[in-house]
Amino acid sequence: MKTTIAIERTTQDVISVRSSLNKLLTNLGADSIFAGKKRILLKPNLLIPKPPDAGITTHPEVVAAMIDWLVEYGIVKEDIVVAESSSTFSSNVTRRAFNKCGIQEVCESRGVRWTPFEGTKMVRVDLPTGKMVKFLNISEELVRAEVVINLPILKTHNLTVITAAIKNMFGSLVLTNKTDMHARFPAYTDFAEMLVDVYSVSKPSLTIVDGITAMEGNGPGAGGKLVELGLLLAGTDPVAIDTICAEIMGFDQRLILSTQAAARRGLGTNNVAEIEIAGVSLDEIRRKFKFPGTYKLYRFIFNSRIGHTLAPLMKKFTGVRAWYDKKTCVSCGDCVNICPGHALKIQKVGSTPTWTKEKCINCHCCEEICPKGAAHVGIAGINGIWPYLIVFLTILVTIIWFITRLVTWS
């Protein structure tokens, strides 16, 4: 049987979002998800404190429409909670993000509870079948919830190519746990498997993707470029949702490692032929998103078996490069605090961070959370290959010269 992904067009207008969301949930037959269920947790994406028009956080109207639908369905508002953990260590960051992005106001005006995950009790959850992690400390709110509703915003991501259904649940880990995961699993493939481990614990029953204003290029933070996509997507299969998101964005499915890993583990399908679209057809909405970073080819090679084997060599040749724009950096120190490799330092008050190449693990966290879009991490082209290339060519020319001499001598 095919899995259904519902897609509807919308604007940011309250009425438009409500009408589209209602259609999505009707097309999915979402009523059955909530039959007999009480405690409902909504997990938006509040990466950093930014207003809704920055396109970095889930739009508050999507959260509002979902809450209103739940209350109309018959869920008691006291049983609904909106929870999230932002990605920097600055003081009260998630609370500020709730406030700045308008979701605090949405919750309070409806008498619904909201909370940063880091303000809740953490419980240990064992993951005997986890591929990269065997246990996780996660919020009791998440464990107690009978239905988790995943509310990502559709963006490109420098590390994972896209962030939608699967990547959004990584945000349910709190601060140090997130940096710890980056430090432990710096390789793309391992990080993707870890994301799936985290996802398998939180297990959202429903995902609504906010694709009203999406992001392309160097997402998912202030360095990305906004795309007025005007869509909402919904489904119960996270793998199928991420597959369709990648289709809409024009990205090769082979580059979305978390989708592949989740499909291998039977968490859903990444085969477009097995996915039925309800609502707007894919052909009407496909558009070419700018790839995150400038190293698509690098990723293709890296993701291949040979590339993985040659990873240390490739890293040496291509080299990571990070730079921090003096004009836009406000020396807030967020990147220094989050850096899992401890590669950054602010030498004196008001200066931009200095970067130590040897310590950098290419995780893109600094780039992701910089509030000013001043942090940049990339692959330094083929810098560093020239000495090796010159040695190789010299040896080659010498061999050819030697063979030619041998042939002419005889």
Which residues of the chain form contacts with ligand SF4 (CB under 6 A)? 322, 324, 329-335, 339-341, 343-344, 352-353, 355, 360-366, 370, 372, 374-375, 377
Give the shortest CB-154-to-ligand SF4 separation in angstroms.
Answer: 23
> Distances in Å between the alpha carbon of 36 and those of 22, 43, 263?
20, 21, 29
Give the shortest CB-348-to-ligand SF4 separation in angstroms.
Answer: 12
Give the shortest CB-88-to-ligand SF4 separation in angstroms.
Answer: 8
What is the H or E stretch that residue 17 is in?
Answer: helix 14-28
Query: Nearest to residue 315, comparing CAs of 267, 356, 256, 357?
Result: 357
Give the shortest CB-255-to-ligand SF4 separation in angstroms.
Answer: 19
Please identify, using beta-carbon distances, which residue of 63 and 93 lies nearer to ligand SF4: 93
**Separation between Cα atoms, residue 149 and residue 373, nearest integer Å:** 30
Please identify, using beta-carbon distances, which residue of 173 and 214 lies nearer to ligand SF4: 173
**Separation between Cα atoms, residue 335 and residue 368, nearest integer Å:** 9
Give the shortest CB-314-to-ligand SF4 separation in angstroms.
Answer: 17
Is 122 in contact with 140 (CB distance < 8 Å)? Answer: yes
Give the shortest CB-61-to-ligand SF4 separation in angstroms.
Answer: 29
What is the H or E stretch that residue 301 is in?
Answer: helix 296-303
Contacts 24+ apart (CB under 8 A), 30-37: 30/206, 30/234, 31/73, 33/147, 33/205, 33/206, 33/236, 34/70, 34/73, 34/75, 34/147, 37/75, 37/146, 37/147
- Terminal C-alpha separation, the chain: 73
Please identify, using beta-carbon distances, which residue of 124 and 327 lies nearer to ligand SF4: 327
Please identify, using beta-carbon distances, which residue of 194 and 335 lies nearer to ligand SF4: 335
Query: Nearest to residue 69, comparing CAs of 57, 56, 80?
Result: 80
- 113 strand-pairing partners: 81
Please identify, using beta-carbon distances, which residue of 12 and 337 lies nearer to ligand SF4: 337
CA-based diameter of the chain, in Å?
Answer: 95
Give the shortest CB-345-to-ligand SF4 separation in angstroms.
Answer: 10
Query: Nearest to residue 99, comparing CAs of 137, 50, 164?
Result: 50
Is 86 in contact with 61 (CB distance < 8 Å)? Answer: no
Is 243 in contact with 5 (CB distance < 8 Å)? Answer: no
φ, ψ of residue 214 to 5 degrees: the values are -95, -175
Please identify, using beta-carbon distances, which residue of 199 and 355 lies nearer to ligand SF4: 355
Give the shortest CB-337-to-ligand SF4 separation in angstroms.
Answer: 9
- 135 strand-pairing partners: 126
Give the shortest CB-54-to-ligand SF4 separation in angstroms.
Answer: 15
Give the shortest CB-110-to-ligand SF4 separation in angstroms.
Answer: 34
What lies within 8 Å, CB to CB, of 312 at 6+ separation is: none
Please identify, using beta-carbon distances, which residue of 5 and 339 lies nearer to ligand SF4: 339
Pair of tokens at residue 229: 């996509």
**Separation between Cα atoms, residue 102 and residue 109, nearest integer Å:** 11
Please identify, using beta-carbon distances, which residue of 208 and 344 lies nearer to ligand SF4: 344
Please identify, using beta-carbon distances, which residue of 125 and 320 lies nearer to ligand SF4: 320
Give the shortest CB-396-to-ligand SF4 separation in angstroms.
Answer: 36
Please identify, using beta-carbon distances, which residue of 28 and 343 lies nearer to ligand SF4: 343
Please identify, using beta-carbon distances, which residue of 293 and 341 lies nearer to ligand SF4: 341
